[in-house]
Amino acid sequence: MNTALNDATNGVLNETTNTVHKHETGASEFETECGLIHHVAPDNLCRVSVERAVTSESTDRCGRCFPGAGGY
């Protein structure tokens, strides 16, 4: 079993919008807590460290996954 998929520090980056989402713990690779990227092609998604992504100036945080964040 791949423990990285269950690690709460991991997220999913929508490369089209440069928005990071929290990965849904225990879910498949690209499922997120908010469920907003279910329509995005897997080629436009990648797994990222939430800690690194939220400190990046070029990445936005999903407002549904991260309290106090902007975005959708």
Identify residue 58 by its one-letter amino acid code.
Answer: S
Q: Which residue has the higher pLDDT, 51 or 62?
A: 62
User: Alpha helices, DSSP H only, in the chain?
Assistant: 50-55
Q: So what's the pLDDT on residue 37?
A: 93
Phi then psi dihedrals of residue 51, to 5 deg: -60, -45
Boundaries of every domain in the chain? 3-61
Dihedral over Cα of 22, 12, 36, 7: its sign: negative
First to last CA, the chain: 32
Per-residue pLDDT tens over the stretch 3-60: 444 454 689 999 999 999 999 988 888 999 999 999 999 999 999 998 888 788 888 9
Q: So what's the pLDDT on residue 9?
A: 60
**Nearest to 3, CA basis, from 40, 36, 47:** 47
Please state the separation of Cα 61 from the chain's center in Å: 8
